């Protein structure tokens, strides 16, 4: 089977749309798989057709770009993305890269379930008779991979979601707090259904089924000997049931869930896992339109709504999953040394922290020295790897944590771009003006300002082999001091005066005037963003 065969499998596949990589339509498909965590790319095999909603990749073009590059390097056949769910559009640079490497990227309809994608492809690849046994074999293979690596409960439930094509939720039996990670708001319904039907669930032999609106919730007990540890909930569309193969998958995975919970079920881990889920659901926008619900959940967890918090994002170039586990342990232990209350999650090659340590943040020099020491220690422990840290402004209201996350992300992104260093610490306070310019960079007035200043200077430099832009940058850095600028550039004052006069001619203005200086400062900062 080749990629272009996908469009003719059945009437549903006619809705699929090719975004990029038309030169790779003859790529051979050997298997189909689902990827909902960025590090899943490490297990991509030659000939794989990978499907994703892009949940873990949202608002992160760099991560998506890296994944596409790695898929191409690994010989994947194609990538299918549900554009419009978590990723609004594929960035042009990724489309161009896919085109250049003949790597098809397909837009998968939002309504398409994983099962509706995988089953026809796998059936064609191996024949209907062998399909069920193949699914079970592949599932067992995935479980074995997990057992050989550091994993969490979400990684386990992702296997169920992948093979059955459903939403999966796991709740602790004692407090019904959700254990695995899910952005689906229907998890609240699932929790309520379990709470309302606890007596029947305890008495059930294997599972109970509940219909609500358009959805069906099938709930299983996760047991250890004679006690119930947790509840596993499968969410399907109401008109769909579980096949024999689906049931077999669940039966085989429930013991894996049980073992994981038993090995990680101490009081502290339960509490902090619950807190982690709560904090990062705020970042993910779960409570954006329901502040009352946020306040209720905060009260339930004894979380201070108005406590000072801020976000740190630590980015690395580590690719090896085992090395990343060591990196995680290293950075967490470092944080603990500073008696800091924090919550964190991993995402590809970065770790995001929500921190409660106002004292450390209020002393910028102490904060910078802390992180400089942190990056130095990491560089010693992980030779040849780069580490960058983005730090938000402090926020004094729980509901604004997602803004703090955006600030830390921007500081990290723009700091790396402007500073052009392999490792660094970037505090949002230093980049606020850049954020403002970034948000309005496409405005016609700002575009005109850029064309009338930086573009004119660049054009002159290119045509005349001069360095007037560099001269302007030095002038701004030296606060337009002629003596300091000439010393910085190692040129005579008269030479500098000639260059300033030439800048005046090119710009048709006087750089000595304060209002013009402000315009030039803005233009240079805009150039740093666009360059």
481-528 confidence digits (pLDDT tens): 999 999 999 999 999 999 999 998 998 888 888 888 888 888 888 888
Q: What is the pLDDT of residue 268?
A: 38
CB 135 within 8 A of CB 34: no
Distance, in Å, from the CA atom of 346 to the CA atom of 445, rounded to the nearest integer, reads 40
Work out the average pLDDT over 175-188. Answer: 79
End-to-end CA distance of the chain: 43
- CATH number corresponding to 303-432: 3.30.70.270
Tell me, what's the pLDDT at 469? 92
Q: What CATH number was assigned to the domain covering residues 132-265?
A: 3.30.450.40
The CATH number that domain 440-530 falls under is 1.10.10.2840
pTM above 0.75, yes or no: no
Q: In the prediction, which pLDDT does 56 show?
A: 61
Shortest CA distance to 327 belongs to which of 152, 147, 150? 150
What separation in angstroms does the CA of 469 have from each of 431, 473, 503? Answer: 22, 6, 9
Quick one: pLDDT at residue 25? 93
3-126: CATH number? 3.40.1390.20
Q: Map tokens 């005349």 to a residue.
A: 464
Q: What is the percent of the chain with per-residue pLDDT over 70, rounded to a whole number? A: 88
Residue 360's pLDDT band (cuts 50, 70, 90): low
Whether the predicted pLDDT of 39 surpasses 60: yes
pLDDT of residue 95: 93
Same fold, 303-432 and 440-530: no
* Better-scored residue on pLDDT, 459 or 214: 459
| DSSP states of 278-323 | HHHHHHTTTTTT-HHHHHHHHHHTT--TT--BEEEEEEE----HHH
**What is the gyration radius of the CA atoms in the chain, in angstroms?**
27
pLDDT given at position 221: 92
Residue 273 pLDDT class (50, 70, 90 cuts): very low
Calpha distance 102→412 (Å, rounded): 32
The answer, yes or no, to whether residue 333 has pLDDT greater than 60, is: yes
Question: Domain coordinates of the chain in residue numbers?
Answer: 3-126, 132-265, 303-432, 440-530
User: Is pLDDT of 128 > 60?
Assistant: no
At 363 the pLDDT is 67
Q: Is the pLDDT of residue 213 over 90?
A: no
Q: Which of 64-73, 119-128, 449-458 has the lowest mean pLDDT?
A: 119-128
Q: What are 81's strand-pairing partners?
A: 52, 107
pLDDT exceeding 90 applies to what percent of the chain?
21
């Amino acid at each position: 089977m080749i990629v272009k065969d996908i469009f003719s499998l059945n009437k549903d596949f006619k809705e699929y749309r090719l975004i990029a990589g038309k030169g790779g339509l003859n790529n051979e498909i050997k298997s189909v798989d689902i990827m909902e965590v960025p590090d899943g790319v490490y297990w991509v095999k030659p000939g794989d057709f990978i499907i994703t909603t892009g949940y873990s990749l949202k608002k992160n073009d760099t991560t998506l770009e890296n994944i596409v590059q790695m898929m191409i390097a690994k010989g994947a056949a194609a990538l299918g993305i549900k554009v419009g769910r978590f990723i609004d559009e594929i960035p042009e640079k990724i489309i161009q890269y896919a085109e250049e490497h003949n790597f098809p990227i397909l837009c998968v309809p939002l309504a398409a379930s994983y099962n509706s994608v995988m089953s026809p492809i796998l059936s064609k690849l191996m024949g209907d008779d062998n399909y069920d046994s193949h699914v079970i074999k592949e599932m067992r293979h995935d479980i074995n991979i997990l057992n050989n690596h550091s994993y969490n409960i979400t990684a386990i439930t992702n296997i169920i979601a992948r093979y059955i094509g459903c939403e999966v939720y796991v709740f602790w039996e004692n407090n019904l707090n959700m254990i695995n990670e899910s952005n689906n708001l229907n998890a609240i319904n699932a929790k309520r259904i379990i709470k309302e039907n606890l007596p029947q669930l305890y008495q059930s032999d294997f599972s109970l089924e509940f219909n609500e609106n358009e959805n069906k919730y099938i709930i299983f007990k996760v047991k250890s000997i004679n006690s119930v540890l947790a509840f596993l909930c499968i969410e399907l569309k109401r008109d769909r049931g579980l096949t024999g193969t689906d049931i077999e998958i669940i039966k085989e995975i429930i013991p894996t869930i049980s073992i994981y919970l038993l090995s990680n079920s101490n009081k502290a881990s339960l509490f902090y896992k619950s807190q982690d889920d709560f904090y990062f659901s705020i970042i993910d926008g779960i409570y954006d339109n329901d502040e009352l619900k946020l306040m209720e959940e905060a009260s339930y967890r004894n979380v201070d709504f108005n406590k000072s918090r801020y976000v740190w994002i630590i980015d690395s170039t580590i690719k090896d999953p085992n090395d990343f586990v060591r990196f995680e342990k290293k950075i967490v232990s470092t944080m603990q040394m500073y008696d800091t209350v924090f919550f964190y999650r991993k995402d590809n090659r970065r770790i995001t922290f929500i921190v409660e340590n106002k004292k450390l943040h209020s002393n910028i020099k102490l904060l910078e020295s802390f992180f400089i020491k942190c990056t130095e220690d990491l560089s010693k422990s992980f030779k040849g790897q780069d580490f960058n840290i983005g730090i938000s402004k402090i926020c004094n209201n729980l509901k604004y944590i997602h803004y703090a996350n955006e600030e830390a992300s921007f500081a990290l992104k723009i700091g790396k771009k402007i500073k052009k260093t392999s490792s660094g610490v970037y505090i949002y306070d230093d980049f606020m003006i850049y954020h403002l310019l970034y948000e309005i960079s496409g405005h016609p007035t700002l575009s005109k300002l850029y064309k009338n200043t930086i573009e004119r200077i660049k054009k002159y430099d290119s045509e005349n082999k001069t360095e007037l832009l560099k001269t302007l940058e030095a002038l701004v850095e030296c606060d337009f001091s002629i003596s300091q600028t000439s010393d910085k550039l190692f040129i005579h004052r008269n030479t500098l005066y000639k260059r300033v006069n030439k800048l005046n001619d090119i710009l048709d203005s006087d750089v000595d005037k304060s209002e013009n200086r402000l315009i030039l400062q803005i233009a240079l900062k805009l150039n740093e963003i666009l360059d």
